Amino acid sequence: MQNARNPGRTGLPGVLLLAAALTSTVSATEEPRAAVDLAAGPAAAGPVIDPPALIRALALMHPDYSLYISSVRALPAGVSRRLYMALVRPGAADPAGRDSAPLAGAGARNDIVYDQAAIVAGHSPAWRSLLLAHEYFHARHLAEATLLPVARGSGVEIERHYNEAAAWGFNVAEARAGRYTGLRPDEFREALDRYGEHYAALKALLKQKEPERWRRIAELMLQPDALFTTAGSPPPASLSRPSGLDQSSATP
């Protein structure tokens, strides 16, 4: 889940691994991987997002999305949670609802819901593609289709920062590889900041108390694009699975 916030914020935490080597600019010559017009209807119709167009954008980036995501839909009228997008179990209406937590386990499929006003206001279509990829990562992670262990029983705060640091780290790596055509520097900075915030929070929770566990998690966070492999391919030798983070219920 990504909460909406002021996109002008640029504070960068000092304890980054991947992010420390990144710049805050995005090349104008990025590969046109997700260049899809996500706005529906004429400009005069106002900021309306077309769910089928969002699905087309997601399919361009991740053709296997339907293995992990059952639908992409707007939040119902009257439900506003100050968020961009969230992953919920199929059919759930309110991301904050007790029964809305996404399903987890091999073969799990979940829904992406979004706040139309939040994802349109002040952002480019490339930002919406980035958010879709963020939820795709969560969905695939919960379906046990990445090399990142799913976390259960580690406490709400650890699980939240663990899940979000991994997903935002994935977005940052994809942005640097030119996956979100037209992504603005301030939008890249927001993704970078969010990665840094969750990474720093996770480090603060684990490094002193459980240094070995933290070391293993940090190794995973350094290689977000290596967390996806084709079916049957062995995990890279350097990607060890941290004990205690091999079970989880949901992404926050």
Tens of pLDDT, residues 172-189? 999 999 999 999 999 999
pLDDT of residue 189: 97
- Number of domains the chain contains: 1
pLDDT of residue 26: 33
Evaluate whether residue 19 is within a structural domain.
Answer: no
Place of tokens 């980036």: 61
- Judge contact between 13 and 107, C-beta under 8 A: no
Contacts of 65 (CB under 8 A, 6+ apart): 55, 58, 59, 136, 139
Evaluate whether residue 149 is within a structural domain.
Answer: yes
Q: Which contacts (CB < 8 Å, 24+ apart) does range 16-19 have? A: 16/195, 16/196, 16/199, 16/200, 17/199, 17/218, 17/221, 17/222, 18/169, 18/172, 18/173, 18/195, 18/221, 18/222, 18/224, 19/169, 19/172, 19/192, 19/195, 19/196, 19/199
Range of the domain at 61: 32-225
Tally Cβ neighbours within 10 Å of residue 235: 12
- Judge contact between 239 and 226, C-beta under 8 A: yes
C-alpha closest to that of 95 among 109, 115, 122: 115
Evaluate whether residue 6 is within a structural domain.
Answer: no
Rounded to the nearest 5 degrees, what angle is found at the Cα of 215, between the Cα atoms of 232 and 168? 70
pLDDT of residue 214: 92
pLDDT tens digits for range 17-73: 332 222 233 332 233 333 334 444 433 344 578 899 999 999 999 999 999 999 999
pLDDT of residue 49: 80
C-alpha closest to that of 16 among 157, 216, 168, 133: 168
CA distance 78 to 138: 25
pLDDT of residue 126: 95
For 6, the token pair is 């002021």
CA distance 75 to 78: 8
pLDDT of residue 183: 97
The secondary structure of residue 14, as a DSSP letter, is: S
Evaluate whether residue 206 is within a structural domain.
Answer: yes
- How many CA atoms, within 13 angstroms, populate the side-chain half-sphere of residue 228? 15
pLDDT of residue 2: 62
CA distance 147 to 164: 15
Evaluate whether residue 12 is within a structural domain.
Answer: no
* pTM of structure: 0.74
Question: Average pLDDT for consecutive 10-residue bins of the chain (252 residues)?
Answer: 47 29 30 37 54 94 96 86 89 89 94 90 92 96 90 85 95 94 96 96 94 90 72 37 33 34
pLDDT of residue 1: 62
pLDDT of residue 147: 86
Evaluate whether residue 79 is within a structural domain.
Answer: yes
Evaluate whether residue 10 is within a structural domain.
Answer: no
C-alpha closest to that of 193 among 23, 13, 26: 13
The C-alpha R_g of the chain, in whole angstroms, comes to 17
Tally Cβ neighbours within 10 Å of residue 239: 17
Evaluate whether residue 88 is within a structural domain.
Answer: yes
pLDDT of residue 168: 96
pLDDT of residue 229: 57
